Amino acid sequence: MKKVVIIGAGFGGINCAKELSKDPLLEITLIDRNNYHLFQPLLYQVATAGLSPAEIASPIRSIFSKKSQVKVILDEVTDIDRKNKKVITKSGNLNYDYLVVACGSTHSYFQNPEWEEHAPGLKTLEQATEIRRRILVAFENAEKEIDPGETQKYLTFVIVGAGPTGVELAGSISEIARQTLDEDFRHIDPSKTKIILIEAGPRILNMFDEKLSEKAMEDLKKMGVEVRLNLRVKKVSNEGVETELEKINANTVIWAAGVKPSPLGAKLNTPLDSSGRVVVNQDLSIIEDPDIFCIGDMARFDQNGAALPGLAPVAMQQGRYVAKIILNDKNERPRKKFVYFDKGAMATIGRSKAVLQFGNIKISGFIAWLSWLFIHIYYLIGFRNRTIVFFQWAWSYFTLQRGARLIIDKDWRLKK
């Protein structure tokens, strides 16, 4: 019986394991540091109190509860021994015949790791709940503050990076301030909240058509978001952000500017590109080792002269493809090259506002927002999650309220 070890239960790892589990003669081991699969595209909803963590995460064991050949291990991989075909974890070693590395990515602070303390990124549930805490505490502190300058500092939010995550966060914070919290405070006026979106490039959402980027920027401005383009951040501290042109006093800074692949790629002792991604062959195997595959954000795969982006659809298609390669190897069928089918891109800006691009089809506004909503619900794992998220969004849409406005202190110990 062939042993397949999959590291990482993100979109790539989960889809690979699902496809492989169709063969009862494979022994599949899925390793992850968390006991849940996280639907990362909706993390910003947790960070802005639209959804609770359990609504965008599913226990990995429940996903494979009826697949007896899939073994789930909660552990952390520390090294990979290619010579002896072993995965080394904190708890011990695992042998493999095939290895699939799908560990995703983390935030890049461009050689300034000290910025993370002052500007958390948005890749994990822990980061999402911390951002939510910081946002809600900022309003609470502003309500108590007597000094107008300090009040404005609490009511200033800076988001660095205007890709989909940055744009979605900016729009969502604007809705919290101007709709959800509008009547909740007595001393402050939440509608006076200042939201600043900083982008080093010439436009926001640069992966979209220029007209859609302009439409998204127009929508953000109507929502009260200040968009500042061609501006680089020089420093982040507890006082706010320093750019090439000015210092912005802000109590809350959120980082959405860059990512870097998991450092586990370096443990493979195989060529990496300039950003640290593993260079893979046309069948997604690593150079000089056809039994190890690297997929998702960790992999550098070029198609039509450009590297594939670190998106969920890419990881999902690669996960299913690698599973089929492994199944075909068992039956001694030749390997075909991986070809990514681009299903388009979408980003939501706010209530009834979104942009969608698929080939020559370019849509913005309510129709794009509806499409974004239903596609995201469709890809959520588990009927319960889909149902809860649908009704949560419907309730939020008609009432302008957010049901997850909980401030959870990081200190779990009983306070005296």
Question: How distant is the alpha carbon of residue 105 from its chain centre?
Answer: 9
CA 74 – CA 283 distance, rounded (Å):
28
Q: Which single residue is written with the structure tokens 């300034």?
A: 112
Catalytic residue among 114, 126, 150, 168: 168
Greatest Cα pair distance in the chain: 74
Residue 118 tokens read as 């002052």
Helix, strand, coil % over all residues of the chain, rounded to 5: 35, 25, 40
CA 183 – CA 191 distance, rounded (Å):
10
**Residue 180 CB neighbour total at 10 angstroms:** 20
How would you classify the pairing of strands 225-228 and 233-237?
unpaired
CA 158 – CA 119 distance, rounded (Å):
9
Phi, psi values for residue 191, rounded to 5°: -70, -15
CA 196 – CA 11 distance, rounded (Å):
31
CA 4 – CA 91 distance, rounded (Å):
18
Q: Residue 164: CA atoms inside 13 Å, Cβ hemisphere, count?
A: 21
Phi, psi values for residue 6, rounded to 5°: -115, 125
Active-site residue 168, yes or no? yes
Residue 241 tokens read as 């952000």
CA 189 – CA 180 distance, rounded (Å):
12
CA 8 – CA 297 distance, rounded (Å):
11
Catalytic residues: 168
